């Protein structure tokens, strides 16, 4: 077997293992609408208990949601694999709340 062919096989195996590890990590963190671990779910429960979600301020919770979406999207650019997984969890929940609270038509300054 040629060395170049062997190198390609090794690269493919490494890619498959990285994908499997990423999938396992997503499973451990959990994603909205899917079963799995509870790190993401625990974070989401704490996030939804913030006073922004029960505020009488008409710009809340959309102002906070939009701000966090921007912050977490920016952080993804330099995040390592584990941090990226958690950021994706947070973004998934933020997008879900963005829709629930109709932030697209909000007059909140951050939206």
The pLDDT profile of the chain, 111 residues, written as one tens digit per residue, is: 677 765 666 556 555 554 445 545 554 555 545 544 567 778 888 889 999 999 999 999 999 999 999 999 999 999 888 788 888 889 999 999 999 999 999 999 999
What is the DSSP annotation of 26-83? HHHH--TTS-S-SHHHHHHHHHHTSGGGT-S-TTTTHHHHHHHHHHHHHHHTT--HHH
Q: How many domains does the chain have?
A: 1
Dihedral angle sign, alpha carbons of residues 65, 61, 46, 44: negative
CA atoms of 95 and 47, how far apart (whole Å): 13
Residue 59 in domain: yes
Residue whose pair of structure tokens reads 């301020």 in the numeric block: 57
Residue 111 in domain: no
CA atoms of 16 and 101, how far apart (whole Å): 39
Residue 18 in domain: yes
Report the pLDDT value the prediction gives residue 80, as an integer from 0 to 100. 87
Domain that holds residue 25: 3-105
Residue 110 in domain: no
């Amino acid at each position: 077997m040629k060395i170049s062919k062997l190198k390609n096989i090794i690269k493919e195996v490494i890619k498959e293992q990285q994908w499997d590890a990423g999938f396992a990590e997503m499973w451990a963190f959990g994603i909205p609408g899917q079963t799995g671990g509870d790190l993401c779910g625990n974070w989401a429960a704490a996030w939804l208990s913030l006073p922004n979600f029960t505020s009488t301020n008409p710009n809340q919770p959309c102002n906070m949601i939009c701000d966090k979406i921007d912050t977490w999207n920016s952080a993804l650019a330099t995040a390592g694999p584990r941090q990226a997984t958690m950021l994706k969890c947070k973004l998934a929940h933020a997008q879900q709340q963005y829709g629930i609270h109709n932030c697209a038509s909000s007059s909140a300054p951050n939206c």
